[in-house]
């Protein structure tokens, strides 16, 4: 299932309220209610840049917030898992480190995953099944991450997976992601 591009990437503003499950960030005179894993990791009346994901449902619009882009990316991967929605994924990020969560998935550590609220055997196994080998783990090299990001960018531009796979062996691994994108586009336009 292809995810729809989010309307908001981040919100920059001042935290005007902290509640048990959300914070309010005022930006340009608008107060945004943002669900976060641990509201008390934020400081009242402080300026913040918070990465957000907007969940759109028939009867509800909800913003979920994250300290870092890496947290947001992991959250987006988690909510793709069958049986794991936003309200179950958010506490996973609140109570565990990104590295610890990714390591548990890669090592198939079901006991670690079951420590999170509402995560039982079935969901823990599904998380491993759906995400093992698909995360940018800390053990992945930067060239592997660049290639993964390159494929994502090219797919976002509308290129077919088969065409992208044909050019990947010709991409120099020692280049920055920007240089790799330029090189890939030249190869795809030949």
pLDDT digits (tens, 9 = 90+) for 10-47: 999 999 999 999 999 999 999 999 999 889 989 999 99
- Is residue 185 scored above 60 in pLDDT? yes
- Is residue 1 scored above 60 in pLDDT? no
CA–CA distance, 111 with 116 (Å, rounded to integer): 10
43 contacts: CB under 8 Å, gap ≥ 6? 15
CA–CA distance, 54 with 110 (Å, rounded to integer): 29
pLDDT at 136: 62
Q: Which residue has the higher pLDDT, 139 or 15?
A: 15
């Amino acid at each position: 299932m292809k995810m729809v591009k989010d309307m908001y990437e981040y919100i920059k503003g001042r935290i005007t309220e902290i509640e048990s499950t959300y914070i309010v960030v005022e930006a340009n005179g608008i107060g945004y209610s943002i669900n976060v894993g641990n509201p008390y990791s934020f400081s009242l009346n402080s300026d913040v840049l918070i990465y957000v994901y907007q969940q759109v449902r028939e009867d509800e619009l909800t913003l979920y917030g994250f300290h870092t882009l890496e947290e947001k990316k992991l959250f987006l991967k988690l909510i793709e898992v069958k049986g794991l929605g936003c309200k179950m994924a958010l506490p996973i990020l609140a109570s565990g480190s990104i590295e610890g969560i990714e390591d548990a998935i890669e090592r198939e550590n079901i006991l670690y995953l079951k420590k999170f609220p509402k995560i039982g055997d079935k969901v823990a196994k599904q998380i491993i099944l759906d995400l093992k080998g698909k995360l940018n783990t800390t053990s992945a090299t930067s060239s592997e991450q660049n290639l993964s990001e390159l494929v994502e960018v090219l797919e976002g531009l509308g290129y077919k997976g088969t065409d992208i796979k044909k050019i990947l062996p010709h991409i120099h691994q020692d280049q920055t992601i920007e240089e790799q994108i330029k090189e890939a586009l030249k190869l795809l336009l030949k």
